[in-house]
Amino acid sequence: MDLKPLDPRITQKLLEGHKDTLSPLAAEREAFYSSRTCPTCSGNALQKTCNPQMLFLNGDPIARYQLKCENCGCEFDPHSGIIVTAGVRGMAFEPHVPLIDGPD
């Protein structure tokens, strides 16, 4: 089955007179994601990931994403606080003692 996109002019006419309710919800959801930190390493380098089974729950019109920490690899659901994949804390921190390459 091929998907045929709707003509933008027709879409514009269909939306005339209707209030935009999704944009404020989407901005609020993005602010929610950007305010989260990793539960394992407390890092804030988080990337949104998609779980198709949890994307739209309870008739929520905005997609719900899981977050994955780019520092330690922890993947968690910021809405429920459930950790899906525990990260490795050691990956998130630089060693206190610098590594020595050898004599120059």
DSSP string over 37-57:
--TTT----EEEE--TTTSS-
Of 73, 80, 90, nearest to 38 by C-alpha is 73
Please tell me the pTM assigned to this model. 0.70
| 28-33 mean pLDDT | 94
Where do runs of H (alpha helix) occur along the chain?
8-15, 22-34
Please state, for a pLDDT cut of 70, what percent of the chain lies above it: 87
Q: Which pLDDT value is given to residue 94?
A: 60
| 49-64 mean pLDDT | 85
**Residue 40 CB contacts under 8 Å (≥ 6 apart), including other chains:** 69, 72, 74, 83, 86, 87, 89, 92
